[in-house]
Structure 1
Amino acid sequence: MWILGISAYYHDSAAALIKDGQIVAAAQEERFCREKHYAGFPRQSIEYCLAEAGIPLHEVDNIVFYEKPFLKFERLLETYHAFAPAGFASFVKAMPIWLKEKLFQKRLLKQEFAALDADVDITAKLLFSEHHLSHAASAFYPSPFEQALILTMDGTGEWATTTVMLGEGRDIRLLKELHFPHSLGLLYSAFTYYCGFKVNAGEYKLMGLAPYGRPTYVEVIREHLVDIAADGSFRLNMRYFNYCTGLTMTNRRFDQLFGRGPRRPESEITQMDMDLAHSVQVVTEEIVLKLSRSLRQEYGVDKLCLAGGVVLNCVANGKLLREGIFDELWIQPAAGDAGGALGAALVGYHLHHQRDRAGLSGADGMSGSYLGPSFSDEDIGAALEHSGLCYELQDEDALIDAAAKALAEDKVIGWFQGRMEYGPRALGNRSILGDPRSPRTQSVMNLKIKYRESFRPFAPSVLREDVHEYFDMEGDSPYMLLVAPVQQHRRRQLSDVTGLEQVNQIRSDIPAVTHVDYSARIQTVSADVNPLYYRLIQAFKRLTGYGLVVNTSFNVRGEPVVCTPADAIRCFRNTDMDELYLGRWRVLKRG
């Protein structure tokens, strides 16, 4: 049985295809159309999934959309009614879009699929999941757990903003939920907006900025903005927020509370911005930990699955792991709305058709999240033919040796291999790599290659068996969704500086992956999941004694991660990257 899941029409549209409950392919549309966080119909992602499976559209048994538009429209109308007459301008702006596009999404979907294949009538094939159920399904069904609590947290779905569900076998049932407008995701997004970053895109920047700040505003947030109960449930004080009916996240009362207006995008980042980022991060972690403790105590289930945009906050995830509240955690790597496409397909298979899960083997069902397109060496060679670059086809051993040697010589390389990752993280197939020992790697990568803010940290990819050598963490973190401290014996004493001046301090013997609070966002690499990447890090270790490399996504600021060889070649030519490894091709800018 083939089931296609899609997410679209808000942000991060995507498609995922499963066969008999097993994931065959999944990808975000932004990677193909080259528009970051693309929200439209995921046409090219669907075409890719079908091509990967080698089937036409008419062989798909069901197509499942990741949420229910009518419930979302109901929430919109009830919200405007509750806050009337405030928000009239926003209402007037929103209604034509809803009436033209979003309310009649079933008709729109039929038109889009007809454009893909005019002979296929999808009316009988089309199903609709619910937003948070799609998130929950994406977290539980690929997990290695027979039974687990499922916690989903994001901005909002139809009504729910935080849900607790129980997964058992093929079944998922709702236990409790919090409703809009009380949303941890929207609280964090409000501070993202207020600190000058883009909502639904810049939240990870706020998280990266937080360690530079102090918890100056924690009590202000607790006293005025959010009431946190002992069990982790919470209510926002809507007198300070504008997202229910306005065109911004915060209002004048919010400005008065903190003594200024929102920071203008691209303007100077002040100590106040850093302190705000730190403070809302502290409050976010408090809510996540209180909620998790109460769930473990109330239900007695020892495993937890996580999904939704909030769980891309890997700092909070790392603290949840270290607290030991649950015996095991599993986090969906495509935790945001893109992952809703996969969850929707799994809802169709396991809940609509009541099909059992395959036998659990102890590993998850995500195949390392390497679910996107791959390209042959012939395809890559054709893309290189008119590039004007110097390139040579090598065998695998020679390729790995050359790449490891380049890294050991403090060069920054592009690494384009195998199937593209599904989700926001580059996990060693569409990555830019560097030497973690080098004190210049972070600044070079940020300013000359990624063209992004200097404060942004980089993540390490570390051999799974070596992780404890460098970080205070045991176990796996294959999807770069957990932050852990750098081991004490690797740290260095620092001079007393504050703010962004801390960027250039050498904080450990692996300075390129050590954030200002001595933390790192870790990817563990195993030989059975990504053997080529594992061999590269092994080769680097033989040369240097260090079993880890710097790993950041293969893109520049404002662009999606590269998808095709042509994307990678363009990025390589337009940056100060030193070398590029495309499949078995080694590429240089000059001979």
Structure 2
Amino acid sequence: MTGILGISALYHDSAAALVIDGRVIAAAQEERFTRVKQDARFPEHAIRYLLGEARQRGASVDHVVFYEKPFLKFERLLDTYLSFAPRGFRSFREAMPVWGREKLFQRDLLAKALGRIEADLGDPARLRFSNHHLSHAASAFYPSPFAQAAVLTMDGVGEWATTSAGMGSGGDLRIDRELRFPHSLGLLYAAFTYHAGFKVNSGEYKLMGLAPYGRPRFAQTILDHLIDLREDGSFRLDQSYFNYCTGLTMTNARFDALFGQARRVPESPFAQVHADMAASIQQVTELAVTRMARDLARRTGQRNLCLAGGVALNCVANGRLVRDGVFDNIWIQPAAGDAGGALGAALAYWHLALGGARADPAGQAMTHAALGPEYSQAEVAAALDAAGARYRVLGDDDLMRDTAQALAQGQAVGWFQGRGEFGPRALGNRSILADPRDPTMQRRLNLKIKFRESFRPFAPAVLVEEAQGWFDLACESPFMLVTAPVAQARRVAGGDAPADLANGLALPRSTIPAVTHVDHSARVQTVSQDANPRFHALLSAFREQTGCPVLANTSFNVRGEPIVQTPDDAFRCFMGTGLDLLVVGNCVLAKDRQDPALLHDYAQEIPPD
């Protein structure tokens, strides 16, 4: 057996992945272990977990592959400075000590860090480097069920590339086109994220959630001044409006003047103009992605498309691609951002460097993202006992019935089962669940449990066999990466009124208002019995009691912290939030039966995100 360890690290969202003989065995983000959101440090804890998984299978790690090439990144830094000099000296001066001390010697640093975990692992001869966008492309194509597919990757920037397009066939994967820095769809969207007062590389999904409250009245302004978007999806950005090449911010005063609006102060109230700007950049992003995909379909003749890179986490754009119909089938890597680069680097090395076979794409495809650690019932009980928790232990049938009943009675439930998910979405293993029919639930989950902005939408998890009756969804969406309209039959009278920030939340728009956004859209997760039998059983129990096969599903965490990893994390979050019930394995914990001395004010302990 050939074991390959893939690593992404030292920028943001560090992660590691284990591939054995071409099969994805396990993957995890470092943040889940350290409890530091998007932890960029070397993923020591994730690697130790993966080595344990390898040993359980009698395998060793023969190769280590880093997800990008540091020298090419350094070349970009130097070239960018020389292109804009003397502007940008401050940012160049601040970056150079880090590069001189660490990143130019990344091979040695990585080898030493690996050697501290296991001596043999630190052998520099084992260490290889992939290309950033090749890692993204490999993470999209090789875990897909397709023997052949077009591949499109879009993000902020790798070494030089910001967008790449190519073709995968069998074990072969080739990138034949790319757009280069500073022209980047990811950085354009990040500029609007920054201007809206959110954090770059983490707040983009907030901007996407804000967009339906606005009107895209600035879309033409963006197309006229910021981006020269061509029919084939290629583009150039006018750098005179941005500061990311030469400064320490994303936008500048000329950007502010173009929209007549200074950057929103983080944590300050929103104005309608912020929602309108969000709607505008979302529309432009969808237009660019659709044009790229149409051109790729024309050039390759393919009917299958694979997506990765941070822009592929824009589920609204993905939904538009699905509805556009230029591709029959679309598969999106659930860890589409840099964390997934670890997985792609390992898979690229297996297939492209070692010539590993890919004889059964459908049989080797990722049908779920549950690749992280899991805990036995004995480990769960020991952790809860040590924490002073009070709980009941139920058999599976009673557990599903009682949990579904609690949900139907309006309780918010922390649901912790099986292996943790890889990527940014909780998909029924580390989830907070609630009744989507409750018109007060969306606001309650945001303000009392997640401690975040009230406008943020929640996703519906739906039994795959019932999805068509509830959503206008033309495909399965197991990774919660496609937005679709709520079915017309599920909408309510009067729910078509225009939305804005002033009245968007006041009006129920469907019979499942907690998961229906103000534009009648929903970020759907379809749940199959094969991929997640335990979550499927809970949804089935809820349907039996209520007639509704849908639950509101959001990640088990509060704003500013990673998704919970361990039973201890779950209990701590449970006792610091407005959750009513916690289900960890077969242990059921009611909030009103816990020791009041263990309650704490979680909202004050987590920094804003």
CA offset digits 1:239-272 (Å, max 9, x no partner):
1011011100011111111123211100111101
How far is 1:517 from its partner? Answer: 0.2
CA distance in 1, matches of 2:580, 2:353: 51
CA distance in 2, matches of 1:295, 1:529: 31
TM (norm. structure 1) is 0.98
Which AA in structure 1 matches 2:424? P
How far is 1:57 from its partner? Answer: 12
Which residue matches 1:131? 132
TM (norm. structure 2) is 0.95
Which residue matches 2:487? 487
Which residue matches 1:282? 283
Contact 1:459 1:522 in 2 (8 A): yes
> Which moves more between the two structures, 273-282 or 377-386?
377-386
Which residue matches 2:562? 560
CA distance in 2, matches of 1:187, 1:575: 35
Q: In structure 2, the residue corresponding to 1:174 is in which secondary structure? A: strand
How far is 1:562 from its partner? Answer: 0.2
CA offset digits 1:97-118 (Å, max 9, x no partner):
1111112110110110121123
CA distance in 1, matches of 2:104, 2:259: 38
CA distance in 2, matches of 1:449, 1:204: 19
Which residue matches 1:376? 376
> Which moves more between the two structures, 95-104 or 152-161?
95-104
Contact 2:143 2:361 in 1 (8 A): no
CA distance in 2, matches of 1:456, 1:302: 34
Q: In structure 1, the residue corresponding to 2:340 is in which secondary structure? A: helix
CA offset digits 1:281-319 (Å, max 9, x no partner):
000000011111111112211111000000100000001
- 1:315 maps onto 2:332 in alignment: no
Which residue matches 1:420? 420
Which AA in structure 2 matches 1:282? Q
CA distance in 2, matches of 1:364, 1:548: 29
CA distance in 2, matches of 1:372, 1:223: 45
CA distance in 2, matches of 1:160, 1:500: 41
The 3 A distance-change label for structure 1 pair 516 and 401 is same
CA distance in 2, matches of 1:433, 1:538: 14
How far is 1:394 from its partner? Answer: 1.0
Q: In structure 2, the residue corresponding to 1:315 is in which secondary structure? A: helix
Which residue matches 2:451? 451
Contact 1:212 1:500 in 2 (8 A): no
Which residue matches 1:520? 522
User: Which of structure 1's runs of 4+ aligned residues deviate more than 4 A?
Assistant: 55-58
CA distance in 1, matches of 2:455, 2:502: 7
Which residue matches 2:71? 70
CA distance in 1, matches of 2:371, 2:502: 38
How far is 1:84 from its partner? Answer: 0.4
Contact 1:148 1:304 in 2 (8 A): yes
CA distance in 1, matches of 2:31, 2:380: 21
How far is 1:359 from its partner? Answer: 1.3
The 3 A distance-change label for structure 1 pair 572 and 356 is same
Which AA in structure 2 matches 1:53? A
Within a 5 Å distance, the mapping from 1:160-559 to structure 2 comes to: 160-361=161-362, 365-492=365-492, 493-494=494-495, 498-559=500-561
Contact 1:57 1:117 in 2 (8 A): no
How far is 1:483 from its partner? Answer: 0.2
Contact 2:31 2:39 in 1 (8 A): yes
Contact 1:477 1:522 in 2 (8 A): yes
Q: 2:582 aligns with which of 575, 580, 583?
A: 580
How far is 1:275 from its partner? Answer: 0.4
Question: Percentage identity across aligned positions?
Answer: 58
Q: In structure 1, the residue corresponding to 2:257 is in which secondary structure? A: helix
CA distance in 2, matches of 1:202, 1:88: 27
CA RMSD of aligned residues (A): 1.3
The 3 A distance-change label for structure 1 pair 434 and 251 is same
CA distance in 1, matches of 2:154, 2:526: 25
Which residue matches 1:149? 150
Q: In structure 1, the residue corresponding to 2:146 is in which secondary structure? A: coil
Which residue matches 1:54? 55
Residues matched between the structures, number:
590
CA offset digits 1:311-357 (Å, max 9, x no partner):
10000000100110101100000000000000000011001101111
CA distance in 2, matches of 1:372, 1:541: 29
Q: In structure 2, the residue corresponding to 1:11 is in which secondary structure? A: coil
Which residue matches 2:99? 98
Q: In structure 1, the residue corresponding to 2:391 is in which secondary structure? A: strand
CA distance in 2, matches of 1:58, 1:468: 43
